[in-house]
């Protein structure tokens, strides 16, 4: 007979998280007020309007001299120059560079931690939909991530309402002027503003955000309620209900997560698009969620919790982190290779402003090191996936690495040459991470750590690889 376990969210643990949050706030304030006041331009994709303003590359792109190398092709788009058709940099700068950088970092953290929350529910749901038994003792940890969803929704909505004009170039009404404007952005207007005219309130964009979070949270609450009910009633009735709801969730998640990535991230660089971007954002969220789950499992095991979890379960989670780090790299390289090889300036500029800019080039390579080379080399052996000391190093590195991945997706398109990494970035990471962990641990303390009446618990107890 397996006894019930409950996690105690001690006063000491709460105090540490609150102190971390306060330190993060202090660093954020210090970082904000020590930022330079100069605005070097960039952001929103305006700086590549020379290339894409009318949907076609200008010379030398349309000429016989278009065989110039990639760096030369996009060099003009990496320089801040007045844009065409009435939407120049001087007109769309709006807030100061320091405010834009603050908003950019808020948006990066909102998107990243919202992704962790929904990935936690995804992990929980996929175990039921696939009728997997091995993760029975682990599932409630990622499920607890879902409690961040309503907080993420409020934060994203508030930040967009306050700073959407600085974060998203497509929100500027003059881009949709009948005489002039930006033809590429005009073509995308229905995706943002339908049924209203381009440049009005982005009701369609906001509507998707509301619907996504509403459905995610409602299905999460239903799964959570059934899971807790199973603890009391036992049997298989609740399990079958959760399997059905999980299948519904996964179908909705498959569509909504990709669209959310288009809305929240890809539309920042409104002139650019990638057909692989939904998969790319999912892969980054997924690996980060797996790494955070594994890290929390290891920490709880060290404190004497999760007696039903053994080194085989930890090994499986380690294999997931290892395998999906490779999957993320495959998606990253596939997207990069297709764009690089196609040699189309309005697409290659996306990588050039990340690859060649002094602000982002170091992060470009650190991103690959932390998210591929490091976990690939360190977790390659069987023993490494079972060694908790190794996992305590690899998992935080992978989580931070994928935060950097979202930083690279967002920052060049929002603040451009005014980007950087300092006290502001570190402080906001600490604020969001401590708040996210507080919500997660508080949720774990409200119910048993694992489902003692789960019909596949016995299978999990005898799991061996």
In a domain, 147, yes or no: yes
Would you state the pLDDT for residue 454?
84
Residue 53 phi/psi, 5° resolution? Answer: -55, -40
User: How many Å apart are CA 193 and CA 189, to the nearest integer?
Assistant: 6
The distance from CA 184 to its chain's CA centroid, rounded to whole angstroms, is 26
**pLDDT-above-70 percentage for the chain:** 87
Does residue 53 form part of some domain? no
Answer whether the bond into residue 272 is a cis peptide, omega within 30°. no
Enter the pTM of the model.
Answer: 0.87
Q: What is the pLDDT of residues 299-328, one digit of tens each?
A: 999 999 998 999 999 999 999 999 999 999
pLDDT at res. 199:
84
pLDDT tens digits for 381-424?
999 999 999 999 999 999 999 999 999 999 999 998 888 889 99
- Asked if residue 443 belongs to a domain, the reply is yes
Higher pLDDT: 214 or 181? It is: 214
340: tokens are 């690089």
**E strand intervals along 195-286:** none
Mean pLDDT of all residues in the chain?
Answer: 86
Cα gap 322→118, rounded to integer Å: 21
Tell whether 193 is covered by a domain: no
Question: Per the domain annotation, does 431 fall within a domain?
Answer: yes
Range of the domain at 266: 23-36+99-168+202-461
**Mean pLDDT value across residues 62-78:** 39
Query: What residue has token string 């009005």?
Result: 200
* Inside any domain, residue 18: no
Task: Name the domain count of the chain.
Answer: 1
pLDDT tens digits, residue range 23-62?
A: 999 999 999 998 864 444 444 444 443 333 343 333 332 3
For the chain, give percent helix, strand, coil, nearest 5. Answer: 70, 0, 30
Arithmetic mean of pLDDT, 131-148: 93
Please report whether residue 17 resides in a domain. Answer: no
Do 408 and 335 contact (CB within 8 A), yes or no? no
Structure tokens given for 93: 């700068």
């Amino acid at each position: 007979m397996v006894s019930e376990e409950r996690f105690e969210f001690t006063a000491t643990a709460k105090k540490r998280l609150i102190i971390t949050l306060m330190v993060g706030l202090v660093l954020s304030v210090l970082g904000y007020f020590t930022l330079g006041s100069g605005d070097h331009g960039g952001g929103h994709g305006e700086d590549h309007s020379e290339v894409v303003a009318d949907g076609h590359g200008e010379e030398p792109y349309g000429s016989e001299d278009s065989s110039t190398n990639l760096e030369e092709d996009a060099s003009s788009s990496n320089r801040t120059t007045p844009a065409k058709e009435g939407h120049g940099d001087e007109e769309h700068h709006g807030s100061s560079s320091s405010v834009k950088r603050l908003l950019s970092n808020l948006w990066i953290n909102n998107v990243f931690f919202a992704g962790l929350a929904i990935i936690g529910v995804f992990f929980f749901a996929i175990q039921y939909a696939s009728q997997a038994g091995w993760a029975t003792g682990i599932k409630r940890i990622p499920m607890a991530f879902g409690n961040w969803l309503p907080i993420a929704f409020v934060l994203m909505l508030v930040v967009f309402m306050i700073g959407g004009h600085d974060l998203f170039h497509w929100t500027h009404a003059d881009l949709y002027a009948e005489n002039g404007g930006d033809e590429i952005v005009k073509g995308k207007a229905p995706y943002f503003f339908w049924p209203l005219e381009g440049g009005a309130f982005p009701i369609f964009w906001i509507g998707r955000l509301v619907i996504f979070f509403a459905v995610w949270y409602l299905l999460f609450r239903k799964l959570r309620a059934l899971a807790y009910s199973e603890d009391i009633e036992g049997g298989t009735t609740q399990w079958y209900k959760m399997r059905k709801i999980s299948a519904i969730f996964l179908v909705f998640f498959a569509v909504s997560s990709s669209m959310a990535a288009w809305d929240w991230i890809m539309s920042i660089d409104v002139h650019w698009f990638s057909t692989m971007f939904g998969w790319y954002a999912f892969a980054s969220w997924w690996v980060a969620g797996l790494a955070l789950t594994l890290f929390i499992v290891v920490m709880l095991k060290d404190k004497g919790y999760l007696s039903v979890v053994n080194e085989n379960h930890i090994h499986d989670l380690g294999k997931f982190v290892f395998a999906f780090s490779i999957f993320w790299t495959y998606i990253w390289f596939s997207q990069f290779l297709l764009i690089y090889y196609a040699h189309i300036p309005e697409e290659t500029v996306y990588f050039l402003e990340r690859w060649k800019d002094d602000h982002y080039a170091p992060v470009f390579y650190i991103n690959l090191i932390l998210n591929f080379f490091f976990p690939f080399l360190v977790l390659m052996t069987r023993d490494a996936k079972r060694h908790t000391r190794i996992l305590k190093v690899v998992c935080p590195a992978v989580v931070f690495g994928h935060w950097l991945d979202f930083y690279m997706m967002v920052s060049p398109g929002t603040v451009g040459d005014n980007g950087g990494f300092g006290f502001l970035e570190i402080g906001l990471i600490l604020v969001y991470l401590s708040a996210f962990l507080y919500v997660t641990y508080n949720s774990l303390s409200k119910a048993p750590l694992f489902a003692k009446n789960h019909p596949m618990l016995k299978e999990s107890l005898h799991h061996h690889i």
